[in-house]
Structure 1
């Protein structure tokens, strides 16, 4: 059973491009730590279009206690820290992280990691979406930051370049 632990940005961008449905289609368990839920709620109060975790029965909300948290990591937010902490304590799970620094720490901690682009590539591989390129364009319009090299690499992997 493949479990993913999602950070705020992955939830945000999949929701804003109408691709949040991919998570329960691709993974057995989708877990959100409390900090990610809190970040989503804070964004909603600011008028940002974000998912409400309680509206999705397939999202499992998990509280993590302070002693289970990985040590403070300069440059990481509370949500990323809780995602990493849960993944360390749930062997075999995969962290869904877009932030480069958080992904580096995940690799150091020997945690499986993917992000929004990895979800999209997997969705195309499984025939859940027809094209990745149009979603990349939508992500770009939403402010999703990706280097041109990465964008081209993703399009190549998707057989669209």
Structure 2
């Protein structure tokens, strides 16, 4: 059940810090990111499809509510057909859901990796992310671990 995803930098940076960037291309058939996100990550990822957003006015509108990388990520997801949007910022997630986009966070991506048997368990990865100062709410951690 491979799908396409559009990711913001937060997921990429978190996975990079724990040495598990390999998970995204195993979970999703294609992973897109806007150029701003690719620059933020500071890694050349051969599997990451960097694609510019065509509708710049959507980006400008979204930037009134969030950071530029998140705005571009949402705008790109709007332009692509049938993608999962990987966003961790609460406000950006809310806006994306109001627009009607399918949104998951980094933890949601890890859940997909477990469901697809890419990883045997999630807890060690959550622990590793927390150790590198990746912010995950206590409620999410306890719901996954218990």
The two structures share one fold, judged by TM-score above 0.5:
yes
- Which sections of structure 1, spanning at least 5 residues, go unmatched? 42-51, 156-160
In the other structure, the counterpart of 2:29 is 28
In the other structure, the counterpart of 1:57 is 46
Cα shift at 1:8: 0.5
The 2-side partners of 1:72 and 1:63 are apart by 16
Q: Deviations over 1:14-55 (max 9, x none)?
A: 1112221111111111101011012223xxxxxxxxxx1x3x
Pick one of 119, 135, 138 that aligns with 1:129: 119
Q: Secondary structure at the match of 1:84?
A: helix
In the other structure, the counterpart of 2:10 is 9
Cα shift at 1:69: 2.6
| 4+ runs deviating over 4 angstroms | none
The 1-side partners of 2:129 and 2:65 are apart by 23
Cα shift at 1:147: 2.0
Cα shift at 1:74: 4.0
Matches within 5 A, 1:1-161: 2-41=3-42, 52=43, 54=44, 56-65=45-54, 66-69=56-59, 71-155=61-145, 161=146
Q: Secondary structure at the match of 2:19?
A: coil
Q: Secondary structure at the match of 1:15?
A: helix
**Matched residue pairs, number?**
144
Cα shift at 1:67: 3.5
**RMSD value, Cα:** 1.7
- Which sections of structure 2, spanning at least 5 residues, go unmatched? none
Cα shift at 1:109: 0.6
The 2-side partners of 1:68 and 1:102 are apart by 14
Deviates most, 122-131 or 5-14: 122-131
Cα shift at 1:113: 0.8
8 Å contact from structure 1 (residues 70, 85) kept in 2: no
